Amino acid sequence: MRTVGVEEELLLVDPESGEPRALAAAVLARASRADPGQAVFEKELYGQMLEFATQPQAEMAELGEEIVRCRKEAGRLAGELGCAVAALASSPLPVSPSVSVNRRYRWMAEQYGIATREQLVCGCHVHVAVDSDEEGVAALDRIRPWLPVLLAISANSPFWQGGDTGYASYRSQVWQRWPSAGPTGLFRSAARYHRLVADMVATGVILDEGMVYFDARLARRYPTVEIRVADVCLRAETAVLVATLTRALVETAVREWRAGREPADHGVGLQRMAGWRAARSGLGGELLDPVTLRPRAARAVVGSLLAHTEEALAGSGDLAAVEEAVSRLLRHGTGADEQRRTRERRSGSLRDVVTECVHRTQD
C-alpha cells in the first residue's frame, strides 16, 4: 500500500484578539529544546506561520492520529508563549505579514515585491509514494482534472483582511500570484517534466526547483508526488479525507497508466477555470465536471470522484470511512461554511471566528 505524508501550515494567533502573531521563531526554538532529535515543525516564509510534517503512513487512521498529535503539540508550544494555533488558510482579521529572515526569503521579498508581502496563506500538502519519476509523472498527468475537487473539499479561506471575499478558498487565488503556481499541461514523461523545471529555473524568475509551485509536482526530497492544491483544513478529519482521496487518485492513475489508458488532454486554461470555480463555490454550488468540464452540482462531482477511485479505496480498506466522511462533510459543509456560520452566529465578529477555529483545530 502506498504511504502518505501530510504537511500542514498553521496560523499563529493571539487567543484574545484573534490577530496573527509573528512568533514562529520562538515556537521553533522551544520545539527544538523539547525534542532535539525530531524535526516535526519547520520555518515558513512568514513569522505568523508554523508548518509540521507527518511521517509516511500506510494506515489512514494512524495518519489522522499523527495530525491530531502534531496540532496539539503545536498548540501546546504556542500556548507557552501566550498564543494559539488555528488551521485557517487565510487570516480573517487584517494582518501585515512578517517575512522570516534568511537569504532565500530575502531574495523572494526583493524579487516579487508586494506579492510576497501579501501572501500569508496556509495550505495542506499531501505526499504519496511512487516507485519512480516515470510513475510519478504518469500520475500527475492523470490526476489533473480531479485536483479542483480536492480544493473544493478543503476550502477554508472565505475572509481576507477583515472582509468576506465571496470565495470559499481565497487562498488559492492569492497563491496564483507566484509565477510558477497553478495547473500544468501534460508532461508525458519524466524527461519532459525535468526539462521544463530546468528551463523555469534557468529563466531566473524563480530561485530553484523548490519554487516550482505546481498544483501537483514531483517532490524534491522524497520519492513522492506532492499535491499542493488544498487549503489547510479546519478539521483534522477533513485533512485525512483529502489525504485518503489523494492516495486513491494516485493509485487509480498509476493503474490507468499501466493499462495503457491515455490521460485527458484538458488545456491549462480550462483547468484554471475549473480551479477558479472550485475556489469560488466550494461545495455550495456547482463545479466543473472533471470529464466534461461543464457545470455540474458539486455533490454530483464529489460522487463522481468516489466512483472514479472506488476500486483503489476498496483495495486499501478506506472506502467505508471515506463515504462516511464525505457524507458528514456534505451535511455540515466545508471549513469556509463553518467560518461563515460562526460569523453570522456571533453578530459579525471575526475575532470570534478565529477563537472558534482555534478550538476546532484541536477538536
Residue 36 pLDDT level (bands cut at 50, 70, 90): low
The predicted model gives 279-308 an average pLDDT of 98
Q: What is the mean pLDDT of the chain?
A: 96
- Nearest by Cα to 49 from 16, 108, 80, 7: 7
Q: Is the pLDDT of residue 20 over 60?
A: yes
- Quickly tell me which residue has 487565488 as its cell: 173
State the residue range of the domain holding 313. Answer: 4-361
Residue 39 pLDDT level (bands cut at 50, 70, 90): low
For the chain, what percent of residues have pLDDT higher than 90? 92
Question: How does 113-133 read in b/e, with b if 16+ C-beta sit within 10 Å?
Answer: eeebebbbbbbbbbbbbbeeb
- CATH of residue 289's domain is 3.30.590.20
- Spatial contact of 154 and 124, defined as CB atoms under 8 Å apart: yes
CA–CA distance, 289 with 266 (Å, rounded to integer): 12
The predicted model gives 85-110 an average pLDDT of 92
Query: Is 161 exposed, middle or buried (CB count within 10 Å of its CB: 0-12, 13-18, 19+)?
Result: middle
Q: Is the pLDDT of residue 189 over 90?
A: yes
The number of folded domains in the chain is 1
Q: Is the pLDDT of residue 21 over 60?
A: yes
- Spatial contact of 271 and 26, defined as CB atoms under 8 Å apart: no
Residue 40 pLDDT level (bands cut at 50, 70, 90): confident
Measured between its terminal Cα atoms, the distance across the chain in Å is 29
- Residue 362's pLDDT is 83
Residue 42 pLDDT level (bands cut at 50, 70, 90): confident
The predicted model gives 27-46 an average pLDDT of 82
Determine which helix (DSSP H) or strand (DSSP E) holds 8, and give its type and residue range: strand 4-13
Q: Is the pLDDT of residue 97 over 60?
A: yes
Query: Looking at per-residue confidence, does 105 or 101 come out higher?
Result: 105
Q: Is the pLDDT of residue 38 over 90?
A: no
CA–CA distance, 200 with 30 (Å, rounded to integer): 38
The predicted model gives 212-216 an average pLDDT of 98
Model confidence pLDDT, tens digit, residues 103-133: 898 899 999 999 998 889 999 999 999 999 9
- Residue 117's pLDDT is 86
The predicted model gives 46-69 an average pLDDT of 97
pTM of the prediction? 0.97
